[in-house]
Amino acid sequence: MAVYVVTWNLNQERSNYAQARQAFIQHLERYQNHKDSGLETVRWISTSSTATQIDSNLRQRLDDNDRLFVSKLNSGENQGWLNQATWDWINARL
């Protein structure tokens, strides 16, 4: 399985923002995932799906004015300032 970083932004101007956000997160949580407490709209997921498949699947819970980014991580080709638990989760799956 591969590890992907997924980040999103939902339009907060919609009347049902809280419901839409919760529905999106529940949909995303169908994947094995990890959240870093310092990054509100970022998750790392582990799946055998492709980035295109993940994007298509998650877009089901988004409006046209929302944004989504999905990118596959490669072992030894990532760096950042994250909680140690997040690094441990990522590195155990790469």
Q: How many domains does the chain have?
A: 1
Tokens of 49: 């799906």
Q: What CA–CA distance (Å, rounded) separates 63 from 83?
A: 31
pTM of the model: 0.92
User: Which residues lie closer than 8 Å to 87 by C-beta, 6 or more apart?
Assistant: none
What tens digit of pLDDT does each residue of 17-55 get? 889 999 999 999 999 999 999 999 999 999 999 999 999
Instruction: Quote the domain boundaries for residue 17.
Output: 2-93
Name the nearest CA neighbour of 6 among 88, 92, 30, 14.
30
Q: For residue 12, what is the domain's CATH number?
A: 3.30.70.240
pLDDT score of 83 more than 90:
yes
Q: What CA–CA distance (Å, rounded) separates 75 from 40?
A: 24
